[in-house]
Amino acid sequence: MYASLLSFHISIPAEVNMIVLQVPLPPTWLDPTTFLVNLFWTLARSFVTFIICFGIGLLGLKILDLLTPGIHELPNIKGKPLPTALFALGMFIFLSLTFLGSITSPLPIGVSSGLGAGVNPWVLFSYRMIALLAGFIISLLFAFIFDILLSSLKPFGIDLDDVNKSHDATGIYVMGYFIFLGVILYASLLLPI
């Protein structure tokens, strides 16, 4: 009787005998290639945006010079140490704000993780440039309205042409414009697309 208990045999198909272990693939964002490609695109986009914003800043200064004919920005700054330093400080702050805005600007969902690889980076870049152009136009409009309001409203009666009387004041004025332009372009870079 005990011999019959020990000799029982179970028939198991060969497919069940084998245990298949599948290791799940790591997430896409852990792939070093995806990280490096995303880093490259972010730095390339930021560098190109930096160059474009530098040009926008210089163009903005030329247009500001045209909008305020009583203030001679560039002749008052050139060759004088303090106005030149204030000009450079304003430009550094301006460029820092635009670089920060370019680095921290939001991307469409899935692009930063590599899952949205179907999104063309040039389309995104062109949308960013349109946002920058809109911000630049708005900054010029605000500067023009600011000049008109300060000089024409009775309670203020401030004539910005008085800035032209001092080279240092002109340097501070230009520095203020660059910071103003930088904040507006920073905000326009952070607009979601």
152 is written with which tokens?
A: 């024409």
Task: Convert the pLDDT of each residue in 34-54 to its tens digit.
Answer: 778 878 877 887 888 889 999
Choose from 10-14, 26-30, 115-119 the range with maximum mean pLDDT: 26-30
56 near 136, Cβ under 8 Å? Answer: yes
Average pLDDT over residues 130-134: 90
Looking at this protein, which amino acid is placed at residue 115? Answer: L
| Confidence (pLDDT) at 180 | 93
Q: Give yes or no for residue 157 having a pLDDT over 90.
A: no
Categorize the per-residue pLDDT at 111 as very low, low, confident or very high, splitting at 50, 70 and 90. low
Q: What is the rounded distance in angstroms from the CA atom of residue 3 to the CA atom of residue 21?
A: 37
DSSP result, 140-152: HHHHHHHHHHHHH
Q: Please enumerate in sequence order all residues whose Cβ is within 8 A of that of 107, keeping only pairs 6 or more positions apart, or say none.
A: 124
pLDDT over 70 percentage in the chain? 78
Between these two residues, 35 and 145, which has the higher pLDDT value?
145
Q: What is the rounded distance in angstroms from the CA atom of residue 130 to the CA atom of residue 55?
A: 15
Q: What is the rounded distance in angstroms from the CA atom of residue 184 to the CA atom of residue 132?
A: 9
Q: What is the rounded distance in angstroms from the CA atom of residue 55 to the CA atom of residue 57?
A: 5
Looking at this protein, which amino acid is placed at residue 139? Answer: S
Q: Give yes or no for residue 192 having a pLDDT over 90.
A: no
95 near 54, Cβ under 8 Å? Answer: yes
Residue 190, helix vs strand vs coil: coil
Choose from 46-55, 123-132, 157-166 the range with maximum mean pLDDT: 46-55
